[in-house]
Each structure stands twice: as structure tokens, then as C-alpha cells.
Amino acid sequence: MQHFLKRFLSLIFPLSCLGCKAKSVLLCRVCFYTISLLKCQECPGCRCTSQYGEFCPRCSKLGGWYFDSLIVCSKYDKSGLLQKIIKNFKYKYSKELAVYLGDLLIRCVGKSESRPESPGRPELYTFFEQLFNEVALVVPVPLHKKRLKDRGFNQAKILAEFLGRPVCELLSRKINTPHQAKCSRQERLKNLENAFCVRPGFESVSKVVLVDDVCTTGSTLNECAKVLKEAGVSYVACIVLARGDGR
């Protein structure tokens, strides 16, 4: 049904690039490569410079965080190109944009075969390779079953698959919370209380790489990490395409 609807709409509204409006393509390569990687990572709490996106000593002492590091690929400007791409990917069922977003992920933490002249961030590549060598599992942030049925796919799972490692859906979402982007910080925190759980039969691992498309306050990632830590995981590294300004 979704495929038929998209084909029908494309006849009425011909495709044009989300960036330059060039015809017959949803996103041209020239526009896509105007999206730059962040020059440095930040502490998830106060956002001071942090090589691997880990918490600074001050924020570590404050507590309240359950994940250990947060890698952000690029800046998330309101009405910017990356925001348009992600919104089309998620809300307009433009699943084909996954290739571009997956490439952005690899440009940040790995080696992009489609753009070998762009080595990404060598220090982040080394950081994640070490995690993977220590048998870390790649885990996507889950969607509630109702939202998964409506959308037809979990964008976090699709992105996770681009890391080139086995993806394990360890978590499930028990509560169909409102869209976080439409909520205040306090509402986000309240919405997510007890929203996630570990799937039955989970065998504890020491490290997990948690993947999502966007975070703002980090509350969704934090609640997922809390459940994982309670299940015996010792280290949770998160990676997202972009982070909004939720301060």
C-alpha cells in the first residue's frame, strides 16, 4: 500500500532534490556532501570537548546518566538539509534515503567505500573497532509495535545495519510514548519512565553500541541504557546521526 501511494504521489509531485531542487532525484550527491562531520565530540552533559563523547569529570560526578559515551556525526540545524533528510526518511516513508544516512554514519566512525577519499575520524574508527573486537553488540533503539506497523520500518535498525556488524534487537518498547520532538524536556523524561525492557532470553554482554537517528536531551538513549545496565551490561556507547539543542 505504501509503495503504491509513493508511486502515485510521485506522478503528481515529481521528485526534486531536498537541497538544490534538482529534478528527478530526492537528494543529489553534491548536496549530500555539503553535510560536514563534527570537528570534535562533546561531553553529553555540558557539551565541553570530549575526544570519544564521554562524560567530563564534573558531569560524571553529577550522576543520572546510564550510557557512557555519545558519538554525534553532524550538526542538526533546524530547517537544515540534514533535518530535512531525516524527516523525509522517517515520516514520509522515504526509506531510500537510508543509503545516504548510512554513509554519513560510516563517514564518521568507519571507512566509506563510496567515498574513500573521506577517511572519517580515525580516532572514532579506532574507538569503535576496539569495542567491536571486545564483542560489543549493536542494538537499535526500538519502536513501539504500533508505530512500527504504521511506519513500516525502524529507522534506528536500518542505520545500525550500516555499521557492518550483527544487529541484535535486545530491547522492546512497552509504551507508545508521544513523539519526543514535540515534548518539553520534563515531558520527555516523564514519558520514557519504564517505557523500555529487555527481551526475554537475553544473555548479558559486557558492552553495547546503541544506535538512533537523532537525540536532543539524550533521555531516550539514557532510558535504554538504564535497562541495559540493569540487565548486566557494563558499558553502553551511543551513536546518533545528529543532536538537537535541548539545553
**HEC sequence for 66-130:** CCCEEEEEEECCCCCHHHHHHHHHHHCCCHHHHHHHHHHHHHHHCCCCCCCCCCCCHHHHHHHHH
Q: What average pLDDT score do residues 69-87 get?
A: 92
Residues 44 and 156 in one domain: yes
User: Residue 30 — pLDDT band, cuts 50, 70, 90?
Assistant: very high
Q: Which of 11-15, 24-28, 93-97 has the highest mean pLDDT?
A: 24-28
Residues 48 and 67 in one domain: yes
C-alpha 164/C-alpha 174 separation (Å) is 28
Q: Are strands 69-75 and 235-243 parallel, antiparallel or unpaired?
A: parallel
Q: 6 pLDDT exceeds 60?
A: no
**Pair 99, 107: CB distance under 8 Å:** no
Percent of the chain topping pLDDT 90: 52
How far is the first Cα of the chain from the last one, in angstroms, to the nearest whole number?
A: 40
Q: What average pLDDT score do residues 106-123 get?
A: 65
Residues 102 and 11 in one domain: no
Cell 535541548 belongs to: 246
**Pair 46, 59: CB distance under 8 Å:** yes
| pLDDT of 120 | 59
Residues 125 and 7 in one domain: no
Please state the pTM of the whole predicted model.
0.86
- The number of distinct structural domains making up the chain is 2
Residues 140 and 69 in one domain: yes
Residues 113 and 10 in one domain: no
- pLDDT tens, 173-227? 988 876 655 555 566 666 788 889 999 887 778 899 999 999 988 999 999 999 9
Residues 139 and 101 in one domain: yes
Q: What average pLDDT does the chain have?
A: 84
Instruction: Give the number of other Cβ atoms within 10 Å of residue 98's Cβ.
Output: 16
Range of the domain at 4: 1-34
| pLDDT of 160 | 94
Residues 20 and 114 in one domain: no
| pLDDT of 175 | 86
Least confident window among 44-48, 90-94, 117-121, 228-232: 117-121
The 8 Å CB, 24+ separation contacts for 32-37 are: 32/85, 32/100, 32/103, 33/115, 34/81, 35/74, 35/81, 35/82, 35/104, 36/74, 36/75, 37/73, 37/74, 37/104, 37/107, 37/108, 37/120, 37/121
Q: 155 pLDDT exceeds 50?
A: yes
Residues 22 and 127 in one domain: no
Contacts of 160 by beta carbon, 8 Å cutoff, 6+ apart: 138, 139, 140, 167, 211
DSSP-derived letter for residue 167 is B
Residues 122 and 8 in one domain: no
